[in-house]
Amino acid sequence: MPIVVQKYGGTSVESREQLLAVAESVSSLRKEGYGVVVVVSARGSTTDSLVSEAKLIAAEPAQRELDMLMTAGERVSMSLLAIALNSIGCPAVSFTGSQVGIITDTRHTDARILEVRPFRVVEELEAGNVVVVGGFQGVSTAKDVTTLGRGGSDTTAVALAAALGAERCEILSDVDGVYTADPNRVEDAVRIDEISYVDMASLARYGATVLKEEAVRFAEREGIAVLVGPSSGRSPGTIVLDGPGAEPAPVTGLTLLPGADLLEWTGSIEDVRDQVERLGRSLSFVVSACGRTAAAADRRGRPASQDPAADATVRPVDLIAVVGPDGGTDRVATEVVRIAEGLGTTIAAISSAGRATVAAVDPGESERILRELHAAFFPATTSSPRR
């Protein structure tokens, strides 16, 4: 029996109507003869609310308990979906991450999957049941409940698809696929049909939220093609795979990651880890020249352990990334600087390597720069004269 793993994002199971619509699509997929595994996220902004509640009680909640709390969101979705499926005559059982054998390391709130032992999933599929799994969670080697980092349901889906040898892995939500830039910021952005794992991982790393970076890396390691698309089926979506079938364009896509920090100090590049760790951030890039070092750090990290060192300055920036086969070339980097300057603004720091150029820019100017860069790198899609 061919197996399909589908993941539904929080916006697709938010209301009762949506939940029932998901149940209907899952049920028809099962009727087509597939073994169906459905991974669900917490409904709407449930996870945010849970975290806020904990932070009202304690500024720095115990990480272990935070994990226990956050997984409650996915439990609600998974049990309600299983109830909905059973109510329409589609036999289903729901399981936590721990029950389906997702074994992680012990890093609470940002655990990594070490192994998947999906025995119960296999048994239930063989018995003809749809298996609904709470995403974003596992059990650690120390037998505690863990979560996989925000957006981690994507990783659950890919890991299960790999462990089950699934025919397809689909990440379904309210977005139509992966775009050349966030369509909410750039109206001329277009959907990408096929994208390579490397480029997708870079886009995720620098701000695209459609698919978690960790999940992309997992998919690449395991050779799983992932479809990212809308739960409504209104668009064919984007396939993330080894290499796109079509002749690749020089630039695949652009991202904007708001709310980063630029740390600058006079001193050696060796200090970078220390500087970034003090702020509890994750390092995006580092550049060093003429005795000055600048590190861009993204705020999706852990709480700060200490204040920045005395010789470091910290300023808020947004990061813009240009990703693709030519993404890391001098030509692209030069173009980014030229366009920013043409708009009367300067780039605070820029790094160009591999398949990506990443620029730290003034947060007040980032959207304008992004739109202008999109027009330059994707001229064919630009519909109207630039403002």
Instruction: Using CB under 6 A, list all residues that contact ligand ASP.
Output: 10, 41-42, 47, 73, 135-136, 150-153
In contact, 33 and 4? CB cutoff 8 Å: no
Cβ proximity to ligand ASP: between 230 and 308 the closer is 230
Q: Which is nearer to Mg ion, 98 or 173 (CB)?
A: 173
- Binding window for Mg ion (CB under 5 A); candidates: 31-39, 50-58, 146-154, 283-291: 146-154
Q: Which of 87, 76, 78 is nearest to 24 (CA)?
A: 87
DSSP-H helix ranges across the chain: 16-31, 46-57, 63-87, 119-126, 153-164, 197-205, 213-222, 272-279, 330-342, 366-377
357 binds, among Mg ion, ligand ASP, none (CB under 5 to 8 A by kind): none
Piece of the chain touching Mg ion by CB under 5 A; list 20-28, 52-60, 149-157, 279-287: 149-157
Distance, CA of 309 to CA of 202 (rounded, Å) = 29
- Shortest Å distance, C-beta 290 to Mg ion: 41
Distance between CA atoms of 32 and 168, rounded to whole angstroms? 14
Q: What is the closest distance, in whole angstroms, from the C-beta atom of residue 197 to Mg ion in the complex? A: 17
Alpha-helical (H) ranges within 141-257 are 153-164, 197-205, 213-222
Between 44 and 91, name the residue whose CB sits nearer to ligand ASP.
44
Q: Where are the beta strands (DSSP E) in 308-365?
A: 312-323, 347-353, 356-361
Q: Work out how close the CB of 77 gets to ligand ASP at its nearest, in angstroms, rounded to a whole number.
A: 9
Nearer to Mg ion, 155 or 275 (CB): 155
Residue nearest to ligand ASP (CB): 153
356-361/292-298 β-pairing: unpaired
* CA gap 50, 70 in Å, rounded: 6
Q: Can you tell me the distance from the alpha carbon of 307 to that of 279, in angstroms, rounded to the nearest whole number?
A: 6
Total number of residues shown for the chain: 387
Q: Closer CB to ligand ASP, residue 214 or residue 365?
A: 214
Give the residue with the Cβ less far from Mg ion, 35 or 73.
73
Structure tokens at 314: 């910290």
Q: Which residue is nearest to Mg ion (CB)?
A: 151
Beta carbon of residue 139, minimum distance to ligand ASP (angstroms, whole number): 16
- Quickly tell me which residue has 């991202």 as its tokens: 255
- Chosen from Mg ion, ligand ASP, none, partner binding at 10 (C-beta under 5 to 8 Å by type): ligand ASP
> CB of 311: closest distance to ligand ASP in angstroms?
36
Q: Minimum CB separation from ligand ASP for residue 128, in Å?
A: 28
Q: CB under 5 to 8 A by kind: which of ligand ASP, Mg ion, none does 42 bind?
A: ligand ASP
Q: What is the dihedral of CA 211, 214, 216, 218, to 10 degrees?
A: -140
Output 72 or 283, the one with its CB closest to ligand ASP. 72
Backbone angles phi, psi at 241, to 5 degrees: -150, -170
Q: Which of 135, 138, 151, 229 binds Mg ion (CB under 5 A)?
A: 151
**Min CB(42)–Mg ion separation in Å:** 11
Q: Site residues (CB under 5 A) for Mg ion?
A: 151
